[in-house]
Amino acid sequence: MMRESIDVYTVLFYFFVSITLVSACVVVFSRHIVRSAFALLFTFFGVAALYVYLFADFLAITQLLVYVGGILVLILFGVMLTNKQINVDIKTGTLHIVPAIILAAAIGGTLVGIAWSNPWMVLPTSSSVKTTAPQIGELLLTTYLLPFEVASMVLMVALVGAVVIARREKNKKETTRDS
């Protein structure tokens, strides 16, 4: 890991970094919204691989399950439901590009500069790397019990609320038409 020559660890690290960044660029700059949605899949996959590099095995699997399996499917549903499929052009316009480039480049450049120049406190890596899932489960049921329960409530309320929001307007429209 700390040898002078470039080893497999480093090469794979840059491979996953390039997957993440290139597909994120495709997400952002592609004109075709379906292409953006599928590029987002590779971004999530690359980020999950970076999680593995950060010794976060449980979070990597969760990322794959929730983001790739859940959120991405939801987004694809959204793309299909909100665009008329008869028209082939499922494209998105852009607006005020120049101020956005300036703002994003300024904020991103500032963050990169801080990350590059700041002497971060780095503890020496412990020799044994343990799996994180048992400890995360223990923390969730002891220290973080209240946020854990609140999160379950939030998820249930959000999902029921999403169903209510997505269906209510249709009924309301029919009733206003009837009256």
Partner 1 sequence: MIVDVLTWLQQPGLSHFLIVSAIVFALGLYAILTRKNAIMVLMGIELILNAANINFLAFSRYSTHSLDGHIVALFVIILAAAEVAIGLAIVLNIVQNFNTANVDEIDRLKE
- The answer to the question of residue 174 lying near partner 1 (CB under 8 A) is no
Number of residues that bind partner 1 (CB under 8 A): 91
- The answer to the question of residue 38 lying near partner 1 (CB under 8 A) is no
Q: How far apart are CA 53 and CA 19, in angstroms?
A: 14
Least distance (Å) from partner 1 to the CB of residue 136?
6
Q: How far apart are CA 5 and CA 58, in angstroms?
A: 31
Least distance (Å) from partner 1 to the CB of residue 67?
7
Q: How many CB atoms lie within 10 A of CB 108?
A: 10
Residue from 15, 103, 149, 174 binding partner 1 (CB under 8 A): 103
Least distance (Å) from partner 1 to the CB of residue 103?
7
- The answer to the question of residue 116 lying near partner 1 (CB under 8 A) is yes
- The answer to the question of residue 22 lying near partner 1 (CB under 8 A) is no
Least distance (Å) from partner 1 to the CB of residue 178?
16
Window 121-160: residues binding partner 1 (CB under 8 A): 121-123, 126, 132, 135-136, 139-140, 144, 147, 151, 154-155, 158-159
Identity at 1, one-letter amino acid code = M
Provide the CA 90 distance to its chain's centre, in angstroms.
22
Residue from 35, 41, 42, 56 binding partner 1 (CB under 8 A): 56
Residues 6+ apart with CB under 8 A from 24: 39, 43
Give ∠ CA 97-100-103 in degrees, rounded to 5. Answer: 150
- DSSP annotation of 129: P
Structure tokens at 10: 């480093």
- The answer to the question of residue 49 lying near partner 1 (CB under 8 A) is no
Residues 6+ apart with CB under 8 A from 28: 36
**Could you give the string, one character per residue 67-86, with x where binding to partner 1 holds by CB under 8 A and - elsewhere?**
x--xx--xx-xxx-xxx---
